[in-house]
C-alpha cells in the first residue's frame, strides 16, 4: 500500500519566475530527502524540491514502493507510487511547473515513471544508477515523437543493478528518448565527481 508523501526539503520555490523549471530530487531505496540535495552545490543555481519517499524501509530509511530482491519492479506497486508522487507534485507546486527529475536507483525508476506518464511536464530527466519498469506506460507511444532529453549515468562496478536491468533500460531509452548514456569505469552503486560534472553539463547545455 502506498502512503502519502508528507515530508520534503526545498529551495527558492516561491522566488523563482513562474515558467522556470524546478529540479525534483528522488532519492534511492533506504535514503531520505536529504540525500541528493548535496549535489546542488556542484550544479547550476536552480530551484529544487526533494520529497521523502512515503514508506519506511527500516533503519531510518525510506522507499517509494515495497521492494524485494526477487521483485524490484512490481507493476501495480510502481504505478500506484507514481500516482501518489504526481498527486504530491500537483499539491505542492504551481500547476504546469516544468520539472527536471533527478533520480538515483529506485528514485531513477520513479523519475522515468514521471516521464512516461506526463512527459509534457518534463524538461529533462536524469537517471543515476537506475532501472525501469518493463510494462508499457500511458505516454510511451508519445515519447518517440517528443524525443525527450535524458541523461543516464551508471558504473561498471554496480552490484545492485544487474546487467539484465541495465540492458533493459538502455534498450528502452535508445528506442524512446534522446539519451546521453554515460558509463563509468570503477563506479559502484553511487555517484562520484565524474557523474556530478556530467549532470552539471547536461543541465546547462
Q: What is the CATH classification number for the domain harbouring 83?
A: 3.40.50.1820
Q: Give the model confidence (pLDDT) of 114-130 as tens digits.
A: 999 999 999 999 999 99
Side-chain half-sphere exposure of 177, counting CA atoms within 13 A: 25
Per the structure, how many domains does the chain have? 1
The mean pLDDT of the chain is: 93
Residue 79 lies in a domain: yes
- Give the confidence band of 86 by pLDDT, cuts at 50, 70, 90: very high
Residue 74 lies in a domain: yes
Q: For residue 24, which phi and psi values (nearest 5 degrees)?
A: -115, 105
Residue 2 lies in a domain: no
Place of cell 552545490: 41
Q: Give the model confidence (pLDDT) of 2-30 as tens digits.
A: 578 989 999 888 878 878 999 999 999 99
Boundaries of domain holding 151: 8-204
Query: What is d(CA 104, CA 36) in angstroms, rounded to the nearest whole number?
Result: 8
Q: Which of 157, 149, 132 lies closest to 201, judged by CA?
A: 149
Averaged pLDDT, 70-85: 91
Residue 3 lies in a domain: no
**Is this prediction's pTM over 0.85?**
yes
Averaged pLDDT, 145-174: 96
| Higher per-residue confidence, 72 vs 188 | 188
Q: How far is CA 110 from each of CA 17, 20, 35, 177, 185, rounded to the nearest angstrom?
A: 26, 22, 16, 16, 25
Predicted local distance difference test score (pLDDT) of residue 17? 82
Q: Is the CB of residue 185 less than 8 Å from the CB of residue 158? A: no
The 3-class secondary structure across the chain, one letter per residue, is CCCCCCCEEEECCCCCCCCCCEEEEECCCCECCCCHHHHHHHCCCCCEEEECCCEEEECCEEECCCCECCECCCHHHHHHHHHHHHHHHHHHCCCCCCEEEEEECHHHHHHHHHHHHCHHHECEEEEECCCCCCCCCCCHHHHHHHCCEEEEEEECCCCCCCHHHHHHHHHHHHHHCEEEEEEECCCCCCCCHHHHHHHHHHHHC
Percent of the chain topping pLDDT 70: 99
- Give the confidence band of 38 by pLDDT, cuts at 50, 70, 90: confident
Predicted local distance difference test score (pLDDT) of residue 2? 57
Residue 126 lies in a domain: yes
Residue 1 lies in a domain: no
Amino acid at each position: 500500500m502506498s502512503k502519502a508523501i508528507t515530508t520534503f526539503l526545498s529551495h527558492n520555490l516561491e522566488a523563482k519566475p513562474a515558467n522556470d523549471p524546478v529540479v525534483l530530487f528522488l532519492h534511492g531505496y533506504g535514503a531520505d530527502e536529504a540525500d541528493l540535495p548535496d549535489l546542488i552545490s556542484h550544479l547550476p543555481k536552480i530551484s529544487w524540491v526533494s520529497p521523502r519517499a512515503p514508506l519506511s524501509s527500516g533503519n531510518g530509511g525510506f522507499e517509494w514502493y515495497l521492494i524485494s530482491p526477487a521483485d524490484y519492479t512490481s507493476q501495480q506497486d510502481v504505478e500506484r507510487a507514481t500516482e501518489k508522487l504526481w498527486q504530491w507534485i500537483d499539491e505542492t507546486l504551481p500547476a504546469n511547473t516544468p520539472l527536471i527529475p533527478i533520480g538515483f536507483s529506485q528514485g531513477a525508476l520513479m523519475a522515468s515513471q514521471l516521464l512516461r506518464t506526463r512527459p509534457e511536464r518534463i524538461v529533462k530527466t536524469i537517471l543515476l544508477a537506475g532501472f525501469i519498469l518493463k510494462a508499457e506506460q500511458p505516454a510511451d507511444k508519445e515519447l518517440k515523437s517528443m524525443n525527450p532529453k535524458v541523461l543516464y549515468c551508471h558504473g561498471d562496478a554496480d552490484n545492485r543493478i544487474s546487467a539484465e536491468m541495465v540492458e533493459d533500460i538502455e534498450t528502452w531509452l535508445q528506442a524512446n528518448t534522446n539519451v546521453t548514456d554515460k558509463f563509468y569505469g570503477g563506479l559502484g552503486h553511487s555517484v562520484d565527481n565524474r557523474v556530478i560534472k556530467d549532470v552539471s553539463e547536461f543541465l546547462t547545455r
